[in-house]
Amino acid sequence: MRIVILYGTESGNAELVADDVAEMLSDRFDVRTHDMSGADPSDLSTDDFFLVICSTHGDGELPSGARPFAEALDRDQPDLAGVRYAVFGLGDSSYDTYSRGSELIDDRLRALGAERVGPYGRHDASSRDVPSDLAKQWAADVLAALSSGNIAQ
């Protein structure tokens, strides 16, 4: 199984997290990492598993790196039935819109028929947690849920 990590970032944090997750998984899987700013929704294949890592910008908005992907989803409305993915959001819980950027991508993918697998991961910038540490544990939990067939959301 190939794992495709799609990241949406404003300042580079989601990209750093994506790279760390890719490095952790690369010894066991064929892993590809793509910035959402250049990702084409028509490339979302049922043969791949997608890890979506997305930050939140401004007042609960998508980061600039995720906007082109979201706009293409809205415009093209691809049938994503059979596409499986998991989401990890970065944000700051001191805001009412904590992790909203990732939720906006998740909402679009689900509305188009894709299936979210495993736990929804989040990093809170207000915490002392290291984003990559949480994301690597999240990815391991998601892949364990995927391999066991326990894909509760």
Does any domain span residue 153?
no
pTM reported for the whole predicted model: 0.94
Strands (E), the chain: 2-8, 30-35, 48-55, 84-91, 115-116, 121-124
Who's near 130: CB < 8 A, 6+ residues apart?
none
* pLDDT in the model for residue 152: 46
Query: How many domains does the structure of the chain reveal?
Result: 1
**What's the rounded Cα separation, in Å, for the pair 13 and 21?**
12
Instruction: For residue 119, give the CATH number of its domain.
Output: 3.40.50.360
**What's the rounded Cα separation, in Å, for the pair 135 and 45?**
23
Q: How confident is the model at residue 62 (pLDDT cuts 50, 70, 90)?
A: very high
* pLDDT in the model for residue 150: 56
Predicted confidence (pLDDT) per residue in 136-147, tens digit:
999 999 999 888
* pLDDT in the model for residue 59: 85
Three-class DSSP category at 83: coil
Beta strand 2-8 pairing with 30-35: parallel
Per-residue pLDDT for 94 more than 90?
A: no
* pLDDT in the model for residue 153: 44
Three-class DSSP category at 133: helix
Does any domain span residue 12?
yes
The residue segments making up the domain with residue 24 are 2-148
